[in-house]
Chain A
Amino acid sequence: MGEQLMVLVKLLWQYSVLQIVIVMSFTLMMVPLLTWAERKVIGHMQVRMGPMRVGFHGILQGIADGIKLLLKENIIPAGADRPIFILAPILSLVPALIAFSVIPFDSWFYITDINIAVLYVLAIASVGTYGIILAGWASNSSYALLGALRSAAQVISYELAIGMALVGPLMMAGTLSLVGITKAQAQGWFLPYQIVGFVVYYIAMLAETNRAPFDLPEAETELVAGFHVEYSGMRFAFFFIAEYANMMVVTAMATVMFLGGWNPPFQGFEAAHFLQKIPGIFWFFGKMFFLLFTFLWVRATFPRFRYDQLMKLGWKVLIPLALANIVMTGVILAIRG
């Protein structure tokens, strides 16, 4: 019985079924925890307690919210375009989840390793925009449509910056596979060489995930809630999960492309070699969670951008910087041969 079980597990592992199950359940479990962390961290930064009632220091708050949303009535507005209204949350959640399929959590733990992984993540992320645009349009409400149009313009602008910021590490690694890129950083992270690329990527990823200070598509004070104003119950929860899953995808990408993925820090120093004893998966998630924490930190610190400032920053600052970074990286790589 035990042997048969082992054979089954090995088979499932071989065909990536087990990895998919682990990654999916981990992602979906992280979402309630992240929402709790967000409220807790921002609460403490504003000298409040944050959620305290459900579980130890409110740790089950996210699960309670999830159950509440699950049991709520799903309302579809009378004037809405029914099929698209139903399709939009799905179109927004599915890309966010399948982007995890190429992310290497450790040298032995990833779902798949393809030779166009970076492009795959970018392509999947660009499809996720449809969920937001269609949700805003199908709701047949001015607030929702305004939020959707803002989001479309914002995502198109910042997608360029994200794509170009990633070109620097790609040139240094010489491969598009995320496993290959992590392996190329075994002797040292790309961060010191790609500091400009990292800054551009970091700002653009805040905008790409519609996070503060770039949360104009859902600016509560002017648009009520933006594109998902007409959504309720489980469909609203889909957008919510998608937003947090997207945050995890972009931070995981930053970890792999700039922060060395599963590689420990200070690889160049003899004294720091004991760090290699710690399994890579801890390093990966440590970096990823630190980046997620900075998301919350930024949200608690900066006020929202004005729309023209947002566009100016994207097109006149980030994209030229990213282009300059590509040229500089190319020149330095050519000199070093």
Chain B
Amino acid sequence: MFSTLFFYYLFIMILASAVMMITRRHMVHAVLYMLLLFFHIAGLYVLLEAEFLAAAQLIVYAGAILVLYLFVIMLVNIKQLAPLRQQLFGHFPFALVSVGLLCMGVVGVLLRETALKAPSTAGEAMAGVSNPELLGKALFTTYLFPFEVASLILLVALVGAVLIASRKI
């Protein structure tokens, strides 16, 4: 009962803050709505008993990435970006097509997945074992290869960023 109510609260807040975020003209306000959005997504993870994921969501997205966004927005002169906004509407058909394709993909996956198995929480998978422990074991045994590939991609991005920045200085 309580978790259903909580879910609907999160559902409404996630949608509302996402819509508010993309419609704000002021970028700092948009980032604040994004912060609200991340908090409620973390709430969704807590509801699914994936506490580690919720904490990681807050530390990585809310704590690090969004702060960097704010940092950049404060340093950028927003008035210079006005011409860019004019060009945006030219891309409208492409945006419509790609959003449509994405929606079809998501709906297709959802239809197939729910038909295959009943929804379950992360809590059901582990009896008595704490969530971070289970996640750690899975990451470093079963999913070691994808995990290492992901970290390699991040490293490449980091080196690339340094390379691009060092050329300008």
Contacts and interface: CB of A to CB of B under 8 A. Distances in A.
A148 B67 CA distance: 11
A46 B131 CA distance: 51
Contact of A149 (B29, B35, B55, B74): B74
Contacts of B71: 133, 149, 152-153
B56 interface: yes
Nearest to B70: A133
Contacts of A127: 35, 58, 62-63
Interface string A106-132: 000000001110011011111101100
B27 to A, nearest CB: 11
Contact of B28 (A114, A120, A137): A137
B122 interface: no
A208 interface: no
Contact of B67 (A87, A120, A137, A156): A156
B59 A126 contact: yes
B64 interface: yes
A81 interface: yes
B130 interface: yes
A interface, by DSSP: helix, strand, loop or mixed? helix
Contact of A84 (B28, B59, B132): B28
B74 A123 contact: no
Given A126-B63, A127-B63, A175-B130, A115 B68 contact: no
Contact of A116 (B35, B55, B75): B55
Nearest to A126: B63
A92 B49 CA distance: 28
Interface in B1-55: 28-29, 32, 35, 51-52, 54-55
A81 B74 CA distance: 13
A176 B52 CA distance: 10
A56 B130 CA distance: 51
B58 A126 contact: yes
Contacts of A116: 51-52, 54-55, 131-132
A115 B126 CA distance: 14
A84 B29 CA distance: 8
B58 to A, nearest CB: 4
A145 interface: yes
Nearest to A148: B74
Contact of B58 (A123, A129, A153): A123
Interface string A151-175: 0110110010001000000000001
A79 to B, nearest CB: 14
Interface in A83-103: 84, 87
18 contacts: A84-B28, A115-B130, A115-B132, A116-B51, A116-B132, A119-B132, A122-B59, A126-B62, A127-B63, A130-B35, A130-B70, A134-B28, A134-B70, A149-B71, A152-B67, A156-B67, A156-B68, A176-B130
Across the A-B interface, the 8 shortest Cβ-Cβ residue pairs: A126-B63, A119-B55, A123-B58, A115-B130, A116-B51, A123-B59, A116-B55, A123-B55
Interface of B: 28-29, 32, 35, 51-52, 54-56, 58-59, 62-64, 67-68, 70-71, 74-75, 130-132
